[in-house]
Structure 1
Amino acid sequence: MKSLLTNLLLLTAATFAQQPKLTSKPNIILIYTDDQRFDALSVVQQEQGDKARFPWFTTPNLDRLANEGVRFRNAFVINSLCSPSRSTMLNGRYNHLNGIANNHTGLSDTTVTYATELHKAGYTTAFFGKWHMGKESGKRPGFDYSASFVGQGQYFDCPIEINGKPQPSKGWVDDVSTTNAIEYIKQHKSETFLVTLAFKSGHGPFQPPVRHKDTFAHVKLTKPVTESLTSPYKDQIETPRRPNANGAQNANAGQNAANSASWTENNDQKIRNYFGAIKGVDENVGRVLQVLDSLKLDQNTVVIFSSDNGFFFGEHGLGDKRAAYEESIRIPLLVRYPARFPKGKKIDQMVLNLDNAPTLLDLAGVPAPASFQGKSWVPLIEDKTKGWRTSFLYEYFYETPYNTPTIKAIRTETGKLIQYPGEEGWSELYDLSKDPTETTNLYQSANGEKLKKQLLGELSKQEKATGYINPDYADAKPVDEKGRYKRPVKEAIP
């Protein structure tokens, strides 16, 4: 009997010895995609039921994150554009203050980011994949190690800068970035690490991995209910030409930019390729989860998955992003932390990409710097909030040579007001509680007067709270003698 008891005690001790040691500072893996709509997840498609537009799309690994962790059902960006959003995730500030208002400016405000602060707290920090602050090259600031590419890079055989030194790569770029991140995790498994894995998918031109080239070739595509609607600024802005690398004017730049933000015919293949690329992302997330399991790091590693902005596939007659409609500003947000967070929890309060940086520090027990304008959503998960935001300011600044105007918008839990400074006639107002697809503009309607007054007051409040300005580093918009956007010249009919 004594021998049996001794064997049981030894077996128990050995079992505990194999378990990962939980520390006060978890490992952190932040994964985000490019242009991934909030509904480009099968868990969301299933939840939408017969209203789902892409019911054939499956993301089993992302669904695993949602089922084993927490899903935020109302996550948003404060600016739906790649570089502005990515800079906000890094330094926790609105774009009217942090130096990035477009896609072609480098990020100078990198002295205080989630990476610099976690490094100070003893984390080993690494960045993999798409940085995209203009066309910045070199080792990524704030990170001990980086394996990244310049600007948009390319989907296949993309040159990768290892700590700033270019090296060739072979294969689909998001597979390559994931492999690099996994190797780093294996090499640093005994340390406390922060890994940021930023995918190129699903940015255009949509190029899925070869294995998914035809995965969605025969699925039935459904048009959006708002396809026949149009944005108030459509065909109302003259798009100037942008100089090319030699200083010459690209005669097609303006028209190409205008077309990129419009929904035209023959986009079915783009949709199929887009979802093929996101399918590849799902598989790579699965690879990361698998290596955490194999190294027994899963319990004490926080895995966060999100995107830099949403994307239009015909809603309001649009492609691209930038505009303040839901498909553009809503993003996926999933988090799993088995040692601390519950499984399968859904949270409906509004969270922002602005909250990423303070949240990462909170998870590590590090105070957020005063410069951070967001707030940690950890208390939301743990039911420790005494109050939470019920509105937020959305902003977008005109970018040469695109045809989306500067935007100021307020989004509450039930309504949205969109303004286009200098063009009051384009203003939009939606009662989201009754009109979630934004089909009926109430701005000039008597039925919308009460809501308009309420949201105008809330917009003013949020402008003051965030220190809103139209920054001098934003592109100068094309204006006429009256200070309005220049209207395109209509060609005379012969």
Structure 2
Amino acid sequence: MKRYSAFLLLWIGGLGAAFGQTRPATPNILLIYTDDQRYDALSVVQQEQGAAARFPWFRTPNLDRLAQEGVRFRNAFVVNSLCSPSRSTMLNGRYNHLNGIANNHTPLTDTTITYATELRKAGYRTAFFGKWHMGNEKGKRPGFDYSFSFIGQGRYQDCPFEENGQPVQTQGWVDDVSTTHAIDYLQQHRKGPFFLALGFKSGHGPFQPAARNAEAYADAVLTQPDNELESAPYRGKVETGRKNAAAATPTGNWTEKNDKKIRDYFRTLKGVDENIGRVLQALDSLKISDNTVIVFTSDNGFFFGEHSLADKRAAYEDAIRVPLLVRYPARFRPGKRIDKLVLNLDIAPTILDLAGVKAPASFQGKSWVPLAEDKPAAWRTSFLYEYFYENGFNTPTIKAVRTENSKLILYPGQEDWSELYDLRADPREKKNLYSTAEGAKLKTALTKEISTLEKATGYTDPAYADPKPVDAQGRYIPPKTETLP
């Protein structure tokens, strides 16, 4: 009878596997993210864009492999396009108006409930490598059993690290060093389950590629963006106390003036792709690829002359869109592309879902696992974007709503700067419809939508944000002197 029962259980299990009803063993999970990587800084995206591609010469064969063997989210966004705020949101799944970080110089204090703490409770070994950058925090990274990380921005060459909070001097290019130590950890904990976060310094400026890539793309032809002269409405109108605020009217060719910076940026990302290849090779050699999830993304996008801007922060597409690739051979169909709106807010609940762990009530995002598995799910059609003025920078506080096909950008206290775009007709955000009869109906709809989203997310102007340079009427104070373009 016992033998018959065992046979029956095996037979039923076989049927379940045949119809896709079984679940693989608890997966290992790798979260890998870059700094300031534009959504189109992937050769798979450049190829997809065809004649419209601005960087068709850029190649990322290892990231393309992830896209081919996994899922590519083509509409992935951040809810705040700034490094520390975005990284904190990925960790604790909350908007920055609630989680304690609204700028790049404030340490993260809200670390009691993160994906790392919840994974540890569920029996995962957790490790963090590379760039943490929430303020200039020192010490062992909270929620992680092990950390090998550097303070703040670190440096590209021979960067000082901390191992579990203790100083360690390293030699070599920083992202090579982080990857080597991450691979050593994989080898030591191959039996899992483990969670490993690997944060690259690339491609944050000032850009310093690895010596092996110092001359890459030397012959590449750089293309000026077609919206370079569509200047941001606040350009040259925000007092920063610095002498590098952009002048109100752009002059000359931004791309020409920044030729080396652009090439060096992509040279650093070439080094990232090489290190992704090393990680993939390590997983294959350890024979743990099939049951290891890899999530690859970036903390925000980046401008290279669009709207005559550099850096990020603003609510235009090039700053708020990021790459998002996910490979999980045991569950996700390879080569799948998803166009739903997904956010960095979703990273934490998704990681827990993949591990079979319930997300805490404090998380504000949603797991996109059902999307990757082709399961019907109610999903967002819009999201709230926020940015809070940071001391010394020339981007004002921003509130915006981005839907599947449109965008409203508001600058509190400065209605004359407001922007409205129909992204279907105008994906490059060149025609501001805010004050036009053509945009009246869309303006009404998105004004209502942003109010709904503010209430749903508990939006507030946080007390820990830097004070704005405004007058008694709440309007931004213009620069005192004309500055460099």
Q: TM-score, normalised by structure 1?
A: 0.91
**Residues 70-149 of structure 1 aligned to structure 2 (within 5 Å):** 70-149=71-150
How far did 1:217 drift?
A: 1.1
Match of 1:15 in 2: none
**Residues 451-466 of structure 1 aligned to structure 2 (within 5 Å):** 451-466=442-457
Match of 2:384 in 1: 393
Is the Cα contact below 8 Å between 2:25 and 2:291 reproduced in 1? no
Distance 2:84 2:245 in 1: 17
Letter in 2 for 1:67: Q
Counterpart secondary structure, 1:166: strand
**Residues 298-317 of structure 1 aligned to structure 2 (within 5 Å):** 298-317=289-308
Counterpart secondary structure, 2:359: coil
Distance 1:457 1:26 in 2: 42
Counterpart secondary structure, 2:473: coil
Where does the alignment leave 5 or more consecutive residues of structure 2 unmatched? 1-22
Is the Cα contact below 8 Å between 2:147 and 2:163 reproduced in 1? yes
Counterpart secondary structure, 1:256: coil
**Residues 326-405 of structure 1 aligned to structure 2 (within 5 Å):** 326-405=317-396
Match of 2:16 in 1: none
How far did 1:385 drift?
A: 3.0
Counterpart secondary structure, 1:57: coil
Match of 1:421 in 2: 412
After alignment, is 381-390 or 286-295 more displaced? Answer: 381-390
Task: Find out whether 1:255 has 2:243 as its counterpart.
Answer: yes
Match of 2:6 in 1: none
Match of 2:36 in 1: 35
Counterpart secondary structure, 1:255: coil
How far did 1:487 drift?
A: 1.1
Match of 2:215 in 1: 214
Distance 1:479 1:138 in 2: 37
How far did 1:480 drift?
A: 1.4
Match of 2:11 in 1: none
Task: Find out whether 1:68 has 2:99 as its counterpart.
Answer: no
Determine what percentage of the aligned residue pairs are the same residue: 71
Counterpart secondary structure, 2:243: helix
How far did 1:384 drift?
A: 1.6
Distance 2:210 2:402 in 1: 36
Q: What do residues 257-283 of structure 1 show as CA deviations (whole Å, max 9, x unaligned)?
A: 658xx8586201001000000000001
How far did 1:23 drift?
A: 4.7
RMSD: 1.3
Where does the alignment leave 5 or more consecutive residues of structure 1 unmatched? 1-21, 241-253
Distance 1:179 1:361 in 2: 26
Letter in 1 for 2:25: S
Distance 1:191 1:334 in 2: 22
Is the Cα contact below 8 Å between 1:239 and 1:258 reproduced in 2? no
Task: Find out whether 1:446 has 2:437 as its counterpart.
Answer: yes
Is the Cα contact below 8 Å between 1:209 and 1:277 reproduced in 2? yes
Give 4+ residue runs of structure 1 displaced > 3 Å after superposition. 256-259, 262-265
Distance 1:437 1:371 in 2: 35
Letter in 2 for 1:111: T
Distance 1:264 1:306 in 2: 26
Is the Cα contact below 8 Å between 1:24 and 1:364 reproduced in 2? no
Q: What do residues 47-86 of structure 1 show as CA deviations (whole Å, max 9, x unaligned)?
A: 0000000000010000000000000000000000000000
How far did 1:112 drift?
A: 0.3
Distance 2:255 2:63 in 1: 31
Q: TM-score, normalised by structure 2?
A: 0.92
How far did 1:489 drift?
A: 2.2
Is the Cα contact below 8 Å between 2:149 and 2:161 reproduced in 1? yes
Distance 1:490 1:76 in 2: 35
How far did 1:354 drift?
A: 0.1
Distance 2:218 2:452 in 1: 48
Distance 2:482 2:107 in 1: 38
Distance 2:314 2:140 in 1: 32
Counterpart secondary structure, 2:432: coil
Q: How many residue pairs end up in the alignment?
A: 456
How far did 1:490 drift?
A: 4.3
How far did 1:481 drift?
A: 2.7
